């Protein structure tokens, strides 16, 4: 009888704990939906070197390639795009357009934090804050997307370009976690301020918050009609997952943005070719703005090459939309193989091919190969990237930065720095 009473008491105690409000309110482990075991690198801490997996490349060979690429773009006089100024600042030079863009400076910062190059990171961030950041006026809190090498803004009041802010914020969070906040910059405070500022606009003077509050999607430019459509390559669900966890403002809003970005990428990807448009409506349909006169933004062109990199990164970091991402990348990478890696621009159905298959495309598509189930196809893309010559010449900047980011991804050197 005593044993029975003790057993009943133990069961009663266990039930009271399980059913208590405290136990019911206890959250699941971060990223756990309660229905599946997360497999992404965020949860496992494991970052795959696809060069090693598919090509048998040693870690030493991989490290040498990373060092060669760093020297090519950041050190060597003839091929670099990184330039230091006399005031302890530095910029990434768009060699094609002969200017400096938030896209390039923020990419440079991300490369530096991934490779533990704090001195170069700080110089780039100091240049961005000194010359690009608006500290007053209707654009206050945003960064002018285009400047001359002397720091002057190009045009009377250039708008921001949303991808620059996105990479600035994420790179600063990583810098805080890697180097701490007691040096030249309080990186975390800087990231949090931008996150707050970009969601503080109400449409006054035609300037809105960076994300459309109805669609939960990043806008092409948060100004006038451009607030009502997006650029698929600006949609970085893996970054937005981190913001939702690390932001101290607008947390409920940020929690809605990763899945919105994932849906946009799925909807924008053509159902036969997998190709993405440069610009799209919020439903993913290709869009040509009235002001766009230099080329057809409904086609797969220059911006769109980055979509494969965004999808592949989200697949291997979080894996929350794995089936759709595998489907998209299988279509896309089979399409380029069927084109024999010749062209770089297409209508979304694959017609009207033009331009050339670039080093940036070789890189971004190799990141997309993370999502492939076809191992032979993945190996083909990894081999092509490994063999790709380093971009040189006038147009080495954009292709080169996308190429370098991509090599960091597939070599296991592009990590969530917690």
Name residue 286's beta-bridge partners: 280
Closest by CA to 223, choosing from 233, 213, 237, 208, is 208
Could you tell me which of 99, 92, 97 has the C-alpha nearest to residue 120? Answer: 92
Active site residue 303: yes
Out of 94, 190, 231, 303, pick the active-site residue: 303
| Neighbour tally for 301: CB within 10 Å | 19
Q: Give the Cα separation of 164 and 174 in Å (integer).
A: 16
Which of 215, 171, 213, 214 shows the shortest CA–CA distance to 194?
A: 171
Which residues partner with 146 through β-bridges?
A: 101
| Burial (Cβ within 10 Å: 0-12, 13-18, ≥19) of residue 39 | middle
Residue 207, CA distances (Å) to 159, 260, 282, 293, 361 in order: 9, 22, 19, 23, 33
Cite the beta strand spans of 29-188 per DSSP E: 82-84, 90-94, 99-101, 146-147
Q: How far apart are CA 175 and CA 178, in angstroms?
A: 5
3-state secondary structure (DSSP) of residue 14: helix
> 311 is written with which tokens?
């999808």
| DSSP labels, 118-130 | HHHHHHHHHHIII
Beta bridge partners of 108: none
User: For residue 44, what are its two tokens?
Assistant: 């496992």
Task: Identify the residue whose tokens are 């759709």.
Answer: 324
N- to C-terminal Cα separation, the chain: 54
Out of 94, 103, 197, 278, pick the active-site residue. Answer: 103
Residues serving a catalytic function are 103, 303
């Amino acid at each position: 009888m005593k044993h029975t009473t003790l057993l009943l008491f133990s069961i009663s105690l266990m039930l009271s704990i399980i059913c208590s409000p405290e136990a019911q309110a206890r959250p699941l482990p971060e990223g756990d939906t309660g229905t599946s075991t997360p497999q992404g690198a965020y949860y496992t801490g494991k970052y795959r070197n696809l060069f090693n997996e598919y090509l048998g490349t040693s870690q030493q060979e991989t490290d040498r390639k990373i060092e060669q690429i760093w020297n090519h773009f950041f050190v060597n006089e003839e091929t670099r795009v990184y330039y230091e100024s006399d005031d302890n600042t530095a910029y990434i030079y768009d060699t094609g357009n002969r200017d400096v863009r938030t896209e390039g400076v923020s990419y440079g910062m991300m490369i530096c934090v991934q490779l533990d190059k704090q001195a170069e990171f700080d110089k780039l961030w100091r240049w961005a804050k000194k010359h690009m950041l608006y500290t007053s006026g209707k654009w206050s809190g945003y960064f002018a997307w285009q400047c001359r090498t002397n720091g002057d803004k190009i045009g009377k009041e250039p708008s921001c370009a949303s991808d620059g802010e996105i990479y600035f914020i994420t790179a600063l969070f990583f810098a805080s976690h890697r180097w701490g906040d007691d040096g030249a910059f309080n990186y975390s405070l800087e990231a949090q301020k931008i996150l707050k500022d970009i969601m503080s606009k109400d449409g006054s003077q035609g300037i809105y918050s960076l994300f459309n509050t109805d669609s939960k999607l990043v806008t092409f430019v948060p100004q006038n009609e451009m607030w009502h459509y997006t650029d698929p390559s600006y949609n970085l669900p893996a970054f937005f997952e981190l913001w939702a966890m690390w932001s101290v403002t607008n947390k409920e809003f940020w929690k809605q943005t990763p899945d919105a970005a994932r849906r946009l990428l799925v909807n924008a990807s053509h159902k036969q070719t997998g190709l993405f448009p440069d610009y799209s409506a919020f439903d993913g349909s290709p869009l040509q703005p009235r002001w766009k006169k230099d080329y057809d933004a409904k086609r797969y062109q220059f911006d769109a090459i980055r979509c494969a990199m965004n999808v592949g990164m989200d697949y291997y970091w979080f894996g929350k939309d794995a089936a759709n991402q595998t489907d998209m990348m299988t279509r896309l990478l089979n399409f380029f193989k069927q084109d024999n890696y010749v062209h770089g621009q297409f209508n979304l159905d694959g017609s009207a091919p033009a331009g050339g298959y670039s080093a940036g495309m070789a890189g971004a598509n190799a990141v997309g190969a993370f999502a492939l189930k076809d191992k032979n196809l993945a190996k083909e893309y990894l081999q092509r990237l490994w063999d790709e010559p380093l971009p040189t010449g006038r147009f080495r900047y954009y292709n080169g930065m996308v190429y370098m980011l991509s090599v960091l991804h597939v070599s296991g050197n592009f990590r969530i720095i917690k």
